[in-house]
């Protein structure tokens, strides 16, 4: 950074914003295979927290890959750049006092470690949407597994591109064994416990 001199004392501080919002800021990072349930869970959590008056923001493929990351594909290099930009965006929202839900495949430990480094470990809560590949494939919500199996999509996560499960996630949601509501409640409860002003 040449000739860039941030002036921190001019801006409204994060702590002031958090007091105004009545809760702490942080990033809930949902990782899992396509079809594992990330978007469904994140949307339910967003709705519940918003209704309760939280400053909550959802970042997912629908609002990121169409704009900010619209130039990126699914090579490992592009996925890394995708996650880098998303993590930087999430960091800005945290500074603004938000509880940020990030819903991305984010397939490798290296990629997620980079996100954690950018955001800061103290503000990063990794949630493993832990759904076996067979279940995701049976769901095939968007018909993408069928296309990947037919060779119409190359480099599809879980088929011919890697997915590395988190080793020590903050939450491990076994969606094949519970309802959407139960999975979402686990996340809401964790946010309410961890991101209190006293916590």
Ligand X SMILES: Nc1ncnc2c1ncn2[C@@H]1O[C@H](COP(=O)(O)OS(=O)(=O)O)[C@@H](OP(=O)(O)O)[C@H]1O
User: Rule CB under 6 A: which residues touch ligand ADP?
Assistant: 32, 34-41, 103, 129, 139, 141, 175, 178-180, 183
Element (DSSP H or E) covering residue 14: helix 14-21
Judged by CB under 6 A, the number of residues near ligand X is: 21
Q: Which does 82 bind (CB under 5 to 8 A by kind): ligand X, ligand ADP, none?
A: ligand X
- In angstroms, the CA 120 to CA 68 distance is 22
Radius of gyration (C-alpha) of the chain in whole angstroms: 17
- In angstroms, the CA 2 to CA 166 distance is 37
What part of residues 5-44 is at the interface with ligand X (CB under 6 A)?
34-35, 38-39
Q: Bridge-partner residues for 101, per DSSP?
A: 28, 58
- Tell me if 39 is assigned to a ligand binding site: yes
Q: Which does 157 bind (CB under 5 to 8 A by kind): ligand ADP, ligand X, none?
A: ligand X
List, in order, residues 6 or more apart from 25 with CB less than 8 Å away: 14, 17, 18, 55, 93, 94, 95, 96, 97, 98, 99, 100, 123, 195
Residue with tokens 């209190």: 196
Out of 37, 45, 46, 82, the only residue in the binding site for ligand X (CB under 6 A) is: 82
Whether 183 sits among the annotated catalytic residues: the reply is: no
Q: How far is the CB of 160 from ligand X (least distance, A)?
A: 9
Q: Is 76 exposed, middle or buried (0-12, 13-18, 19+ CB in 10 A)?
A: middle
- Tell me if 37 is assigned to a ligand binding site: yes
Judged by beta carbon, residue 97 or residue 107, the one nearer ligand X is: 107
Catalytic option among 103, 106, 161, 183: 106
Out of 14, 17, 40, 61, the only residue in the binding site for ligand X (CB under 6 A) is: 61
Q: Is 38 helix (H, G, I), strand (E, B) or coil?
A: helix
Residue 64 sits at φ, ψ, to 5 deg, of -110, -45
Q: How far is the CB of 133 from ligand ADP (least distance, A)?
A: 12
What part of residues 148-167 is at the interface with ligand X (CB under 6 A)?
153, 155-157, 161
Catalytic machinery residues: 106
Contact positions vs ligand X (CB under 6 A): 34-35, 38-39, 61, 65, 74, 79, 82-83, 104-107, 142, 144, 153, 155-157, 161
List residues forming the annotated binding site for ATP.
32-39
């Amino acid at each position: 950074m040449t000739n860039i001199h941030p002036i921190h004392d001019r801006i409204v501080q994060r702590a002031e914003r958090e007091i105004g919002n009545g809760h702490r800021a942080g990033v809930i990072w949902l990782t899992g295979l396509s079809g594992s349930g990330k978007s469904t869970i994140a949307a339910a959590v967003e709705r519940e927290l918003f209704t309760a008056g939280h400053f909550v923001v959802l970042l997912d493929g629908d609002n990121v890959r169409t704009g900010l990351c619209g130039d990126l594909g699914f090579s490992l290099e592009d996925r890394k750049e995708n996650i880098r930009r998303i993590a930087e965006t999430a960091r800005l929202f945290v500074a603004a006092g938000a509880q940020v839900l990030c819903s991305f495949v984010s397939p490798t430990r290296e990629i997620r470690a980079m996100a954690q480094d950018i955001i800061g470990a103290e503000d990063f809560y990794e949630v493993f949407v832990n759904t076996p590949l067979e279940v995701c494939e049976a769901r095939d919500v968007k018909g993408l597994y069928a296309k990947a199996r037919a060779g119409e999509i190359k480099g599809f996560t879980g088929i011919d591109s890697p997915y590395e499960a988190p080793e020590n996630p903050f939450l491990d949601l076994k969606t094949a064994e519970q309802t959407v509501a139960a999975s979402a409640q686990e996340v809401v409860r964790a946010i309410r416990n961890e991101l209190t002003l006293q916590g």
